[in-house]
Structure 1
Amino acid sequence: MLVVFAHSTTGSTVATLHRADGVILQLPGYDRKYRVPHDLAHFATERTFEMSGGVFGSIAAGAVFSNMRVLSGRPRHDAALRSKRVLDAHKESLSLAEVIAGMVHHAVETGIPEQAPALARKAWESRGAGDPPWTDEQVAEAVRLLSELAADFEAQGQVRATWPDHLIAPTPPARGIRRGRRGRT
């Protein structure tokens, strides 16, 4: 999935997502006060941590968040139900993505990248879930990638990035629908 992060007319950022099914979506950002777009932090963090169930993997699988809109293409006949299934199935991953992307974003935005691993551990510990499912090196790599993307964004006013196909969230099957042929007696 191609993702283009750019400045919007409101002074914030907007991500335009070109999904493999031909649907083009717009995801507005609510980050006018930040130098580094928050959704760019999600992209860098989720990609580094290989989080298929985060924001971008879920969108690639067919999820549409309430603040998004379809720009072009023809959504599936069951797009709303598919979106709900994907979002429901990945609630925990989306929550985790928000926590860790927030820490990576904060570290880059405030110019304290060396503190990111400690911030990420502290955020994870606040969830009371034992050891974090990532290494300090992964956090540092997410900070490095976000710093690089943020520099490109500042210099060019936009960033074009590709979300890998292997990080598309699994889509749970629809319930109550029988597939295949009925047996003959």
Structure 2
Amino acid sequence: MLVLFAHSGTGSTVATVHRGDGVVLQLPGYDRKYRVPHDLAHFATERALGISAGVFGAIAAGGVFSNMRLVSGKPRHDAAQRSRRLLDANKRALTMAELVAGVVHRAVEEDETDRVTALVRDAWISFDGSDFPWSDEQVTEAAVTLAELAAEWEALGVVKAMWPDDLVAPMPVPHGVKRGRRGRT
């Protein structure tokens, strides 16, 4: 999935997402006060940490957030129901992605990347309390990648990046749907 981050007409950012199914969507950013776009932080963090059910993995799977708009392409006939089911099934993962991407974003924004692993670990403990699911190297990679993308953003005002095909949120099976062959009578 191709994602193009660019300046919007409002002074913020907009991420134009070209999904594999031919649908093109725009995700507006609300980050005029930041040097580094928040959605870029989601992209770098979720990709580096392998978060498939975060913002961009959910979009790749067919999720459409309420603030997104269709630019082109023809969505599936059941796209709205699938999106709702997908986003509902991944609420916890989306919340976790928001938290972790926010911490990485802040570390890069405030030039504290040397502390990013400790900051993400602390955030994880407050969120879940279980064993930390990522290596220090992955967390560092998220911050380094975001810093590199931020430098490209500052230099060019646009960032073009690919979301991995294998980092897509799983589509939950609809409730009440029976799978398999019907019994013969």
Q: What SS class does the counterpart of residue 64 from structure 1 fall into?
A: coil
SS of equivalent residue, structure 1 residue 165: coil
How far is the alpha carbon of 1:148 from its aligned partner? 0.5
Q: Which residue of 2 aligns with 1:94?
A: 94
The 8 Å contact of residues 96 and 127 in structure 2, kept in 1 or not, is answered as no
* Equivalent residue letter for 1:111: D
**Is the 2:45–2:104 contact (alpha carbons within 8 Å) kept by the matching residues of 1?**
yes
- Per the TM alignment, residue 181 of structure 1 is displaced from its structure 2 partner at its CA by 6.1
Give the match for residue 26 of structure 2: 26
TM-score normalized by structure 2?
Answer: 0.95
Taking a change above 3 Å as real, the CA distance of residues 128 and 184 of structure 1, as seen in their structure-2 partners, is closer
Q: What code does the residue aligned with 2:131 have?
A: D
- What is the 5 A alignment of 1:129-144? 129-144=129-144
Q: Which residue of 2 aligns with 1:54?
A: 54
3-state SS of paired residue (2:166): helix
Q: TM-score, normalised by structure 1?
A: 0.95
Tell me which amino acid in the other structure corresponds to 1:103: V
In structure 2, distance between residues paired with 1:183 and 1:128 = 44
Following superposition, the deviation at residue 160 of structure 1 comes to 0.6
The match for 1:153 is 153
What RMSD, in angstroms, separates the aligned Cα atoms of the two structures? 1.4
**Segments of 4+ moved more than 6 angstroms:** none
SS at match of 2:92: helix
Per-residue deviation, 1:146: 0.3
Separation in 1 of the partners of 2:16 and 2:137?
A: 30
Cα deviation per residue 1:17-38 (whole Å; 9 max; x = unaligned)? 0011111000000000000000
For 2:110, the aligned partner's letter is T
Once residues 113 and 37 of structure 1 are traced to their aligned partners in structure 2, the CA distance between those partners, rounded to angstroms, is: 16
Structure 1 counterpart of 2:65: 65
> Are the counterparts in 1 of residues 52 and 58 from structure 2 also a CA contact under 8 Å?
yes
What one-letter code is carried by the residue in structure 2 that aligns with 1:161? A
Q: Which amino acid aligns with 2:107?
A: A
Q: How many residues align?
A: 185
2:66 counterpart letter in structure 1 = S
Q: Which runs of 5+ in 2 are unaligned?
A: none
Note if 1:15 corresponds to 2:15: yes
**CA–CA distance in structure 2, aligned partners of residues 142 and 128 of structure 1:** 20
- Specify the alignment match of 2:169 in structure 1: 169
Deviation at 1:111, TM superposition (A): 0.9
Q: What is the aligned partner in structure 1 of residue 76 from structure 2?
A: 76
CA distance in 2, matches of 1:122, 1:175: 36
Alpha-carbon distance change, 181 to 121 in structure 1, aligned in 2, over 3 angstroms: closer
Segments of 5+ residues of structure 1 without an aligned counterpart are: none
In the alignment, residue 156 of structure 1 is paired with which amino acid? Answer: L
Partner Cα separation in structure 1 for residue 167 and residue 133 of structure 2: 17
Give the CA deviation at 1:127: 2.1
